[in-house]
A and B are shown apart, each in its own frame.
Chain A
Amino acid sequence: MREYDLIIVGGGPAGLAAAISAKKEGIHNLLILERDHELGGILNQCIHNGFGLHTFKEELTGPEYAYRFIEEAEKLEIPYKLNTMVLDISKEGKSKMVTAMNREDGLMFLKTKAVVLAMGCRERPRGALNIPGYRPAGIYTAGTAQRLVNMEGYMPGKEVVILGSGDIGLIMARRMTLEGAKVKVVAELLPYSGGLQRNIVQCLNDFGIPLKLSHTVVDIQGKERVTGITLAEVDENKKPIPGTEEFYSCDTLLLSCGLIPENELSGKMGVELSRVTSGPVVNESLETNVEGVFACGNVLHVHDLVDYVSEEAARAGSHAAEYIRSWDSIGKTEEEQTIRIQTEGGIRYSVPQIIRTEHMEENLTVRFRVGAVYRDAYVSVYCGDKRILHKKKRKLAPGEMEQVVLKKTDLTAEEGLDKIVMRVEEA
């Protein structure tokens, strides 16, 4: 049995950045396991531009962004195995045992000191959407359609209705229009879009595709293949309003209803998952409750910007390296000050959720999402009654991930602090 210092599960942008940073910090005995036939993850099918503005100061397409990291990983001679599915991860004393499989090696049992989880996310299955009517052909998730059009060169249909205004749906509205399809409408159940504003501008407005907010599909026509759908407006309880029904003929319905982190492996291993993010609960080092198991990218929480994925993953890789370097002293834990970040008043979640001040650097970036749209509001952080942060934001929206930076000195000033509270405060 081969023994490793670090195994990275998933070779998307998160896995690549984590591996690169760990390798640069001197961890040479590492391995990336990727189930697809190439590295790069979801970026390979995201052929539109808009990636990497923060990291490379230029606007790249998904495959180009991925290629920069793949090239760097190759240059650093980071070993990886493709077409390799990780089936299980379990604890073995201090170590972890990774069970994986591929055609050449068959079933493998790989022992490792640390693991970085970078499995990305998957789309919400359509069954969860509860649309009445038959299940005719012509219904796809937006991500499936993206893969078909961009990687297999296959157009799923000619007349399209899109349900859900997440980014993938918006991007596919433009993509299918350019490929000659007629995209009739994008319908969103909520009163606001879950997608980035820039995508509404350049994917819908540029092509005159209407976006109907507070609308949902109430009926799907067609037995063999979709022939049309009926949209209706919904009230504030998301119940369709009778009399507002409108029929659209179409042969294809795309569902763009959001992504959820892919955490079957993590859950089985005993990693604590957040009910809000569906991703692991992590500390300031992006380490889960299972020591030596780190998480980053979309498996941790769904990101809309790959730049943040890469930055977060590099931190996870570096913390994993630190963990491996301190291997011999692990287990002799001293009493640590642990602070929970409690989110309320409009803030849905934060990552990380836990801070151990002893392990904290001078500044810590905390990312979060809000549950509604706010204008000219403040994001505040409290230690008891004391407000340690009060930051004005021109606009906060559920579709856009936000961040604040906490100072170590603010957290260590208070003796015995075990909780800080984050909330949105309206002016």
Chain B
Amino acid sequence: MTEVKELTCISCPLGCSLTVTMEGKEVVKVEGNTCPKGKAYGEKEVTNPTRIVTSSVKVRGGILPVVSVKTASDIPKEKIAECSRALKGIQIDAPVKIGDTVLRNVGGTGVDMIATRNVRAKTS
């Protein structure tokens, strides 16, 4: 059975309109992409959609009360809510450095949460 899906590529802000043609569970054609990333996105989005999750985590003793974080790689879309719940309870100590691991294996995804900025310790 042939099925045609219309998607928007979210791999970069250009947002190309993609047309993905499927034969049963197989992707046979991706059209509308202007770069290879778009093809990969189209194939993945209809079979196993994933997202990078960004959020923030509480910091103790820093110049800011929170530090921004992201998943080190993309995680399955249905795990987003779980991932964000897992971040709620934790608090880390300043100083935090960009790239530091904030939480390992977030929400059982096998992916780590890492800091996306520096937060210096408060000097007082």
Q: Which residues of the other chain, A, contact B56 by a CB distance below 8 angstroms?
A: 47, 149-150, 153
A59 to B70, CA, bound (A): 11
Which residue in chain B gives the minimum CB-CB distance to A71? B98
Does A372 make an interface contact (CB < 8 A)? no
In the assembled complex, 22 residue pairs joining A and B whose CB atoms fall closer than 8 Å, in A order, are A47-B55, A47-B116, A49-B54, A53-B13, A54-B12, A67-B98, A67-B118, A150-B66, A150-B68, A151-B66, A152-B65, A152-B66, A153-B56, A153-B66, A178-B81, A178-B84, A179-B55, A180-B88, A198-B12, A200-B8, A206-B51, A304-B13
Does B90 make an interface contact (CB < 8 A)? no
Chain B residues within 8 Å of A, Cβ to Cβ: 7-13, 15, 17, 51-56, 58, 64-66, 68, 70, 77, 80-81, 84, 88, 98, 116-118
- Our pick among B8, B11, B53, B116 for the contact of A63 (Cβ within 8 Å) is B116
Q: Which residues of the other chain, B, contact A149 by a CB distance below 8 angstroms?
A: 56
A201 to B15, CA, bound (A): 10
Q: Which residues of the other chain, B, contact A180 by a CB distance below 8 angstroms?
A: 88
Q: Which residues of the other chain, B, contact A425 by a CB distance below 8 angstroms?
A: none
CB contact under 8 A between A53 and B116, given known A61-B54, A152-B65, A178-B55: no
Does A48 make an interface contact (CB < 8 A)? yes
Does A197 make an interface contact (CB < 8 A)? yes
Extra contacts, 10 of them, besides A153-B56, A395-B17 (Cβ < 8 A), are A53-B11, A64-B98, A67-B117, A151-B64, A201-B10, A202-B51, A206-B51, A206-B80, A394-B17, A400-B15
Q: Chain A 235-262 against B: per-residue CB contact (8 Å), 1 yes, 0 no?
A: 0000000000000000000000000000
A-B residue pair count with CB separations less than 8 angstroms: 81
- Taking a contact as CB atoms under 8 Å apart, the answer to whether A59 and B80 are in contact is no
> Which of B9, B54, B65, B84 has its CB near the most chain A CB atoms (within 10 A)?
B54
Chain A residues within 8 Å of B, Cβ to Cβ: 44, 47-50, 53-54, 59, 61, 63-64, 67, 149-153, 178-180, 196-198, 200-202, 206, 304-305, 394-395, 400
A394 to B19, CA, bound (A): 14
A224 to B42, CA, bound (A): 48
Q: Shortest 3 CB-CB distances between A and B: which pairs?
A: A47-B68, A63-B117, A197-B15
